Amino acid sequence: MEQKQRLIPVKQCWVSVKDKRGVVLQTMEGADGVNVKVRWQGQKEPSIVPLTSLRSGFMPGMEVRHIPSVVAQRLLGEGIVCNTRMLGSEDQALIDFPASGEQHWLPYETLSWIKGAKHRFITGDKGPENASERFRLKVLAHALETWNENTGALSRMDIDPLPHQIHLVHRILAQGHLNWLIADDVGLGKTIETGMLLKALEQRGQARRILLVTPAGLTNQWKEELHHKFGLSEFRIYGENFTVDEPREWKMYDHVIGSIDRLKDESHYV
């Protein structure tokens, strides 16, 4: 009866028996109850032990992932073991979850050990061949999520940006200077990239005055796309929506689209 009430440890859960510590590989339920296959530290071959003989093998500093024992429970994510205790007959671990800023006492059976940065550094584990690319994408996803949470920019845009477009805009914003040449091939979305960048800069208060110089046949297309996709509706086309007679009149217009053919005319050299 006691065995049925116990939680079954998840895979990669650290367990202990007396002075031995190991990692759960598999659990098996049979006529004699639940047995657990464990790979013990310092031993090549795993062994099978009854669930009732196991206690927590977690120690402070270990990195873990929370795997709820009930589907309806909230998934808390990844965290670090801060402390351990026995409450009644149950072993628990205090887990700090940096992403949410929360700490929770959890049954040790719901914790799966993960190889975090500290472990990989000490052991020299570089991970699989695609680890660096996976890490880059995780960082990019986190940056995108943070940007959207802080500015709400992407939730208001009528676009579905591609990874290379997001990466470009994030890279420019992260560099701290704006002297960049965007030279993607035709069809890769330079308008989208520029619109995302302008929207982010506007929300930061860093794009008060903007001049876009485009081919003659694309001035209206740029104006419409910036309005409909990014809510940048202040742009006026020089020579169509307005003209100026003296240089000082440019101060009246902060968001201007101009045709390169019109602007390269000698009358604009002043």
Q: How far is CA 237 from CA 210, 216, 218, 246, 266, in A?
A: 12, 11, 11, 17, 19
Final residue belonging to a domain, choices 204, 226, 259: 204
The parent domain of residue 223 ranges over 208-270
Is 191 found in the same domain as 109? Answer: no
State pTM to two decimals: 0.46
Is 214 found in the same domain as 166? Answer: no
Domain count along the chain: 3
Report how far residue 189's alpha carbon sits from residue 185's, in angstroms, rounded to the nearest whole number: 9
Report how far residue 9's alpha carbon sits from residue 81's, in angstroms, rounded to the nearest whole number: 16
Q: What is the pLDDT along the chain (270 residues), one digit of tens a residue?
A: 344 468 899 999 999 998 899 999 999 987 788 999 999 998 889 999 999 999 999 999 899 999 987 765 778 888 999 999 998 889 999 999 888 888 999 999 999 998 766 666 666 666 667 777 777 777 777 776 666 655 555 555 667 777 788 888 878 877 777 788 888 777 778 888 888 888 888 877 788 889 999 988 899 999 998 898 888 889 999 989 998 888 888 889 999 999 998 888 776 654
Is 104 found in the same domain as 11? Answer: yes
Cβ atoms of residues 231 and 203 within 8 Å: no
Final residue belonging to a domain, choices 88, 121, 154: 121
Is 237 found in the same domain as 223? Answer: yes
Is 61 found in the same domain as 28? Answer: yes
Amino acid at 221: Q
Cβ atoms of residues 34 and 48 within 8 Å: no
Q: How far is CA 89 from CA 13, 104, 105, 156, 227, in A?
A: 18, 18, 15, 52, 64
